[in-house]
Structure formats: C-alpha cells, structure tokens
Amino acid sequence: MPELHRVDARDKLLGRTRYIDDVNPPGVLHAAFVVSPAHRGRIRRVVLPPGFDQAAFTIVGSGDIPGVNLVPEPVSDEPFLAVDEALWRGQPILAVAHPDRDTARAFARAVQVVVDEEEAVTDPAIALDDESRVFGRELLIDHGTHEPPEERWLHLSRTYTTPHQEQAYLEPQGMLAEWDVDARHMRVTGSMQCPFFVKEAVEVILGDEVAEVSVCQAEGVGGAFGGKEDFPNVMAGTVALLAWRSGQPVKLVLERDDDLLITPKRHPSRITIESWTDRTSGRLRRLDIDYRLDAGACQTLSPVVLARGVLHVAGGYSCPAVRVRGRLFHSDTPPNGAFRGFGAPQGLFALEAHIDDIAAELSLDPATFRQRNVMHAADSFPTTQPVAEDNLADCLNELLSQCSYDSLRADIDTWNMAHRHKLGIGLSLGFHGGGYTGGGETRLASRVCITLHPDGAAEVLAANVEMGQGASTTLAVCAAQGLGLPLSRVRTAVPDTARVPNSGPTVASRTIYIVGNMLRRLGANIREELGDIDEWCEKAGDELPRTFEATYQPDPAATFDEDTYRGAAYRHYSWAACAAMVQVDADTSEVRIEKMWSVVDAGALVHPGIAMGQVYGGMTQACGWSLGEWWHKPGHGRLGSLTDYALPTAVDAPPFDVRFLHTDSDISKGLGELPMDYPAPAVRNAVLHATGIAIDDLPLLPERLAARLRKDNTSVC
C-alpha cells in the first residue's frame, strides 16, 4: 500500500486549523471556574470579591441549574457544580463569565470560598489500603479455582502499585456554547471525543429549558488520550448553563494549571497477585488477583475502567485457575477517568512484573517462562471465552528474534561485569480487547452513513472525532476501500450531532475496529448495489446527494454475562510483545531507555504510517508512565503545574523498532490503546535484569532505586 498523506496535516502544519481557543463569535463571554480550595468539607460561604463591577459578570452555581445537577456517566454521581459539600480540591463550585477573559479569570480566582475542612484522604496509597473506602460494585471472575493449590507448587504473593497519570493533551479543555433563545436551541462546539455524550450532558443540565441541543467537534482537537471523554460533559454543561443564563455565547478554555488541578487522570492502582506455578513444568497453575483502583471522589465511569481492568489483569497467559476480584476505592481527589488503556496498563504492569518475579524464583529466563505459558488457540480466557488464535505467541517469537534476545542478553551480562553503569533487557506481553466491554457495542448500536454527492465525492458521516490520531484520514480510507474509490474522492465530515448519525464515542480503540470496519462493509455494499459508482453517479442526476446507512451488527454467538463475568468480553483482541533495553546510571540511579522493540498484531492496517504513529506515541506515553510521571507525593501534595511533571521529551523517547504481524487479516482490530498497555513492565523488568532490584511501584524514580540500592547494600558500582 502506498504511504498516504493525512488529510488534516497541511492545515495543521500551516496553522490554519481552528481550535476552540481561536473561535470567538461576536459578543462572546469568557468563562472561568471558581473551584474548591479544600479537599473536602462543607461549603460555608462564597464571598464575591470587591473591586469588580459585579453587574458585568454572569455567575452560576448549582442553584441555577434548571435540569439535573448530575453529569451523565455510567454512574451519574458527580454534580456539574458542587452543592453543599466540596468533594475534592479543584471541584467546580461556581462558573463566571465576562467579556474579558483575564477579568473573568482574575475574578474567579479572587472569589473567596470558605469551607469547613474535614479530614481528607488524597494519597492513593492510603486510600487503596483502606477497605472501608470500597464503593460501587465489586467484580469477580472466578474460574477453575475449586481445587486448592498444591503444596509443591511455587507460591508467590506480591503487591504492585501505579500512580496517577495526566493525559497532558497539547490543547487544554475548551468549549463554546451559543444560545438561540427563539429556537431554544443550544449549540455547543469544542474539544471533545464524544459529541453525543456532550449532547446528553447539555440536555440533562438544561432540562426543559432547551428544545434542541446540537454538538459539534471544534475543527481542531489538540489531543485527548481519553481525557476528553468524560470532562467535556462538565465543560459543556457549564458553558451551556452560562449561555442560557446570559443569552450570549460563552466560551471556557482552561488554563493548563487549572486543567491539571481539575480534570480526571489515570486511576492509581494497587494490585496484589498471588500465583502458584508448577516448578517442574514451569507452568502457571493458578492466579488470585486483588485489583484495586483509586476512583477519586465519585464513581463516574470508573466501573467501566474496573471492568476492563479485571478482564485484562490475568494477562496473555494460559492458566487453568484464575480468580480476580476488582474493587473501586474512594479518595478525596478529582474523579479519575478515561486514559488510553483504561485499566489495562495497571493490570498488565502488575502481571508482567509478576511474571518476571516468578521466572526469577524458578531461575528461568523470563523469555523461556513466557514461551511456556503464553496463550494459544486451544486455551481460554478466565471468562471461559476461547482464545481464537496463536497470535500472541507469534508476537513473542517474532520479538525474540527481532531483538536477538538470547545473544543480546548474554552480551549484556558480559558487558555488565566490566562496567559500572548497568544494562538490562526486559520483556512484556500485552493485549487489548477492541471496542466496548461485554454487551456495550450491542447497546450502542452504532450507525454510520456514506453520502454520495453530485460532484462525485463520497462523504463519511460518523460521530468519531479527529483528535490528532488520524481518524479523519483512516475513516475515509476505510470507506474508500469499500467503495473502491481513491482516497482523494472521499472525505470525512466534521462530527456534528445535527448532521452525523451516532456511531458512538471516540474511545475504547473502537474507531477503526467498529466504525472503520462498518464503513468498509457499507462501502462494499453500496458498490454491490450500484455497480460502478462513477457510472451510477453520472446517471443518477436528481437522486444525488444520496445517503446510505448501516447499523452495527452484533455477533449473536458472542455473548457476555455481566453478572457472572463469563463469555465473550470482546469479539477481537489485539496482541503485542515488547522488549526494552535500559541503562541504569551508577551515580544517579537514573534509568535511561536505550531501545524498545515491539511486535504488534492489530490485524489489517488501514494506514501504516498512522498505525506506526499510534505505536510510537503510546509507547512514549508508557515510557513516561514507567520512569517519571506522578501527581501526588506523600508529605508534599500534588504537582501544581507541568514544570516538574516529567512527560517524556523527544530525547527521552528511545529509538523504537516496531513490526506488525498478520496485516493480511481481513479485519482491522483496535490499536489506539494497546501500545500504552504493555511497555512499562518491560522497562521495570529490564531494570530488574540490570540491577537485580525488583521495583514494584511505578514510576521507577531514581530516588526509589537509590533507596533500594542503599537498603539492599548492593552497589551498581
């Protein structure tokens, strides 16, 4: 396939793409949040600051909401604006709007919020250790565990933890609302992943006051990574409320530090794995896993993250007996939310670290141990779903030859004997179920359209946004492939709920896997119906434009029981294997990732360049998560800005050597999240190889490593 350009690249490179910050309709008011200064407590008083012309501001609080003050989420337990209780520091209490942006922000900052502070838990380690903080539904997967483990098996129990991670999209959250009072129509435009979720949020907060809500993606959405799945609901609800109240257009763009303070992050986790392994065969016999997530102050979409987490935490290994218990823990911090991987990275970090810990106990090479236990087609997932293919084993074997694993590991061991700075190589496996979990896709019942226009162009109508990941190109490619037209004849409409069908949210690695495959099939059906499309268009005349529609067809054989957690949790899985080579500095204990290899099976690639970009990007994000990113430091609180938040830069990202397997498949599988899921444990395992020290807590900060080197009294020198 020829390398294809991205349809959005030129305008973005030339600075022509308009992001929501660039859009200022006449009379627009700029909004700002007044947020809770306290982690928790009763809101006593809100004192508006003197020295401002208060008549010039529109100010709204929870009492001004004509509809329902609960953000629609899988569990709708988060108010748009705080009522009497402050639930976390940074929780929006009021929203204000003013014609001048800086004045709005200065005013909001100067509002005095008096809270009777109550004791709060903001340290994930404390929250996750306290079983009285469990809330929401507990999930249990229990398969084959009726027999007790045998005495002679190796029994290992360890606890692994992971920190918050900030999505750090390049463009902060931003939303614009325009109120047409005559039509009672609220028009919302902004930076978001899920236009139809946003539409629902605006309908909920305005209730009967609004006759129609339409939501459109801003022309440019500067990155999201999951961070614009849930919080845009709060943004949109708030600006819509202000626009309805003031009668003027209202725009809210968060400052970076506020975005960091207020919006959801990746859930911190604490995962205990108990394993039993047959010492003779080196085969896993049983896994008992306690999977805990710090949900923050409200549940919102955490139950769904928990579901994906428990379904991935047993890893890509064949194990006859698995018990997974998944629970959400409450803390007085912003509700944690969606972030690329959605519960899978936490689980795979723990499991893949544990795999190396077992291998070390058995004195087996971690590659050998993985080869003995990796899933094959005859195996089944802990949900009893049969494994359909050997592709994970293929990825592992290809990886080992790609990085010349055996000789590289031996060379490293020799090198380390002569050098102070230590090298190490580590492995990990990963997989990701495509699309919504369980019956989610059936319930979503996504619809897509393709319109043939009189000028001969085909237009893709879908709700999935271009947020930098390339969807405007790849969705067009899928349609073009089905229609048999060149890409130059196919364009993707900017998602606007007034124009496009609901093809579901831009989440869950589902854009290509669900929507793309639907478009390809719809295109092929159109071609079958019309014959040669050019000829047909020429004759069609008045019939154009003509729109064709398709609805998602669930596989009746693939069912999932959400009570027992048995069945097909996902229809297709993407697979990957990874190796990381690190160097640990003898003086500073800094870990430098020297190189990373990965072999990925995501089925047929719609666009090889964009697919590669997804893998590079996801792996870079995983490098950051493994080495330096965190938000809360016990005894010191939280980072208030990105100054010290160690997002990897271009020079921190190692050279990547990535290969794709099984690209001749007839299906394109999910790829968006997978590359974030699995690289972090490879880094941890490489550090273990380099130093002999197993760090069970991310990130692998030099402070942590140095303290362990001190305690263990082994020196890397």
Which residues are near other proteins by CB under 8 A? 586-590, 592, 627-628, 633, 635-637, 639, 641, 643-644, 646-652, 702-703, 706-707, 710
Tokens representing 38 are 């306290």
Judged by CB, which is closer to other proteins: 599, or 622?
622
Q: How far is the CB of 706 from other proteins (least distance, A)?
A: 5
User: Beta 490-492 vs 458-461: how paired, if at all?
Assistant: parallel
CB of 620 vs other proteins, minimal distance in Å: 12
Shortest spacing between CB 588 and other proteins, in angstroms: 5
Nearer Cβ to other proteins (90/315): 90
Q: Between helices 679-691 and 702-712, what is the axis angle to 10°? A: 30
CA 252 – CA 104 distance, rounded (Å) = 10
- Cβ 190 to other proteins, closest distance in Å? 24
398 or 629: CB nearest other proteins: 629
Contact, 249 vs 178, CB < 8 A? yes
Complex with other proteins: residue 539 or 711, whichever CB lies closer: 711
CA–CA separation, 353 vs 150, rounded Å? 23
Q: Which is nearer to other proteins, 37 or 609 (CB)?
A: 37
3-class secondary-structure state, position 54: helix
**Among residues 487 and 647, whose Cβ is nearest to other proteins?**
647
Token pair recorded at residue 556: 């009746």
DSSP 3-state of 8: coil
- Closest to other proteins by CB, 487 vs 646, is 646
Minimum CB–partner distance for residue 649 and other proteins (Å): 5
Least distance (Å) between residue 644 CB and other proteins: 5
For residue 673, give the amino acid letter: E
Min CB(212)–other proteins separation in Å = 40
Kindly state the smallest distance separating residue 75's Cβ from other proteins, in Å: 33
Smaller CB distance to other proteins: residue 576 or 627? Answer: 627
Contacts of 539 (CB under 8 A, 6+ apart): none
Q: Using the 8-state DSSP alphabet, how is residue 562 labeled?
A: T
Enumerate residues 6+ apart whose C-beta is below 8 A from 18.
Answer: 218, 219, 220
Tokens encoding 112? 């005095």
Local structure of 526: helix, strand or coil: helix
Helices (H), 325-458: 344-361, 366-373, 391-402, 405-418, 440-444
Beta strand pairing call for 250-253 and 29-35: parallel
Taking the complex as a whole, how short is the minimal distance between the CB of residue 626 and other proteins, in angstroms? Answer: 12
* Of residues 417 and 650, the one with the C-beta less far from other proteins: 650
Say how far apart CA 235 and CA 171 lie, in whole Å: 14
* Number of H-type helices and E-type strands within the chain: 19, 27
Q: How far apart are CA 349 and CA 596, in angstroms?
A: 16
Query: What length is written for the chain?
Result: 717
- Nearest distance in Å: CB 679, other proteins: 16
Residue 214 has a CB neighbour count (10 Å cut-off) of 17
CB of 504 to other proteins, least distance (A): 37
Q: Find residue 328's DSSP bridge partners.
A: 135, 293
Please, which residue, 486 or 635, has the CB nearer to other proteins?
635
Nearest 5°: the CA angle 89, 92, 97 is 140
* Least spacing, CB of residue 613 vs other proteins, in Å: 21
Of the pair 414, 641, the CB lying nearest other proteins is at 641
Across the beta sheet with 92-98, the strand order is: 58-60, 92-98, 29-35, 250-253, 174-180, 185-190, 212-217
> Can you tell me which residue has the tokens 């929250």?
127
β-pairing verdict for 632-633 and 637-638: antiparallel
Closest approach of other proteins to the CB of residue 715, in Å: 10
418 or 650, CB closer to other proteins? 650
SS (H, E, C) 104-155: HHHHHHHCEEEEEECCCCCCHHHHCCCHHHEEEEEEEEEECCCCCCCCCCEE
Q: Cβ closer to other proteins: 309 or 702?
A: 702
Residue type, 588: T
* CB of 591 vs other proteins, minimal distance in Å: 11
CA dist 76 and 71 (Å) reads 6
The residue among 137 and 638 lying less far from other proteins, judged by its C-beta, is: 638
With beta carbons less than 8 A apart as the criterion, state whether 683 and 623 touch.
yes
User: Smallest distance from the beta carbon of 655 to other proteins, in angstroms?
Assistant: 14
DSSP, res 668: B
Residues contacting residue 571 through CB under 8 Å, at least 6 positions apart: 434, 435, 441, 555, 558
Please give the structure tokens belonging to residue 601.
């099976």
Q: Minimum distance from CB of 109 to other proteins (Å)?
A: 9
Q: Please name which of 302, 379, 299, 292 lies closest in space to residue 338, comparing C-alpha atoms.
A: 302
